[in-house]
Amino acid sequence: MTDVWVNETLYPDWGQRFLVKRELARVKSEFQDIMLFESTSHGRVMVLDGVIQITERDEFVYQEMLTHVPLLAHGAAKRVLIIGAGDGGVLRRVLQHRNVEKCVMVEIDGEVIRLCQEHMPDVAGDAWTNPRGQVIVGDGIDYVRQAEAGSFDVVIVDSTDPIGVGEVLFTDEFYHNAARLLSDNGLIVNQCGVPFMQADELRETSLRRGKFFPDISAYVAAVPTYVGGFMTLGWSAKTKGLRDVPVAEIRRRAEAAGILGTTRYWTPEIHVGSFNLPPYIAENLPG
Ligand code: SAM
């Protein structure tokens, strides 16, 4: 039998490919083409519109950094809003934090949720049924438009890239409403792509975020299957200073939240260090 490979089509002239052990699902939803397969190298993999979204083997890097950094930098987040993240991995990490009282997740594509529940159940674990979590199938832009002012402490955007259904999550309207629904010392993080290959994504969202938030930056994580070097996670806070919390205090907060010792990428030192940007990345930030 000949080998079957899945080629990622994110870039027209460069990419990664996976050897397929078994195809699990191929669905055309109302919003995107969804494919899940079992690879020989990275466990189960989900692809949306030809772009690798998550692999079982390295999802912890991205999910831990997207969740623990904002929650522990804030230090007292009780109400968390997640946009996208249909695999449930961010929801699971948020609900690990003892002090979080409520976490609302808004994912546009119910098929992504259903397929991940069926084929990648370990990514979310028992988060789907946690009484502190609420999962809404809907467009993130509609949710933020209607959300009450000051009703969340942290917003986490785990979206696809700014093309197709994900595009609205990178607009002025989205950031304006995100700033409005956050409490006074609230903050929002969002995936900003791999700047070595997608510098425009970081540059453009940073300019937009800067219109609505006084503290704009980004932090990095090395996610093996988001190829091209560091991935950037955008940082937008309503107050300054939240990204300058010292290592010892981050460790104390992580211990109190029940996070210390549970992670495979995030540590207090990596948390603080991740805000130190190589110049080729920093040059995409305003100022
Ligand atoms: N963690 C992986 C990553 O960042 O590559 C997976 C991200 S994937 C789960 C991103 C999710 O965002 C998709 O399931 C997609 O359906 C969802 N999404 C895209 N646009 C959205 C919108 N406007 N509102 C809510 N969710 C959206």
Report the complex ipTM.
0.93
Tell which of 55, 74, 96 closes a domain: 55
Give 236's strand partners.
188, 216
- Expressed in angstroms and rounded, the spacing between residue 249 Cα and the centre of ligand 1 is 32
Q: Which of 165, 173, 265 to mutate to test the pocket of ligand 1 (most atoms within 8 A of CB)?
A: 165
Residues 90 and 146 in one domain: yes
- Out of 49, 58, 109, 158, pick the active-site residue: 158
- Expressed in angstroms and rounded, the spacing between residue 61 Cα and the centre of ligand 1 is 17
The reply to whether 228 falls in a domain is yes
Tell which of 16, 40, 55 closes a domain: 55
The reply to whether 162 falls in a domain is yes
Residues of the chain under the 50 pLDDT cut: none
**Domain of 178: which CATH number?**
3.40.50.150
Residues 45 and 65 in one domain: no
* Residue 163 confidence (pLDDT): 85
Residues 46 and 96 in one domain: no
Determine which residue's CA is closest to atom 19 belonging to ligand 1.
166
- Expressed in angstroms and rounded, the spacing between residue 248 Cα and the centre of ligand 1 is 34
Residues 151 and 267 in one domain: yes
- Expressed in angstroms and rounded, the spacing between residue 163 Cα and the centre of ligand 1 is 11
The whole-angstrom separation of Cα 263 and Cα 51 is: 26
Q: Is 122 a catalytic residue?
A: no
Residues 69 and 33 in one domain: no
The reply to whether 222 falls in a domain is yes
* Residue 65 confidence (pLDDT): 98
The reply to whether 145 falls in a domain is yes
Residues 107 and 18 in one domain: no
Sequence letter at residue 1: M
Q: Which of 32, 141, 160 to mutate to test the pocket of ligand 1 (most atoms within 8 A of CB)?
A: 160
What is the model's pTM?
0.97
CA atoms within 13 Å, Cβ hemisphere of 5: 7
Residues 171 and 184 in one domain: yes
Residues 163 and 269 in one domain: yes
List the domain range (segments joined by +) for residue 185. Answer: 59-282
Sequence letter at residue 30: E
- Strand intervals (E) in 181-237: 182-191, 215-221, 231-237
Residues 154 and 20 in one domain: no
> What single DSSP character describes residue 244?
G
Burial class (CB in 10 A: 0-12, 13-18, 19+), 28: exposed
Give CA torsion, residues 161, 223, 235, 102, to 10 deg.
90
Tell which of 36, 55, 74 closes a domain: 55
The whole-angstrom separation of Cα 71 and Cα 65 is: 10
The reply to whether 287 falls in a domain is no
Is the beta carbon of 233 within 6 A of some atom in ligand 1? Answer: no
**Domain of 18: which CATH number?**
2.30.140.10
Residues 73 and 176 in one domain: yes
Of ligand 1's atoms, which has the minimum distance to the CA of residue 169? 23
The reply to whether 169 falls in a domain is yes
Under 8 Å between Cβ of 129 and 162: no
The reply to whether 132 falls in a domain is yes
Residues 148 and 135 in one domain: yes
* Residue 135 confidence (pLDDT): 98
Residues 41 and 138 in one domain: no
Q: What order do you get walking across the sheet with 152-158 strand by strand?
A: 133-137, 102-107, 79-84, 152-158, 182-191, 231-237, 215-221
The reply to whether 254 falls in a domain is yes
Q: What is the count of structural domains for the chain?
A: 2
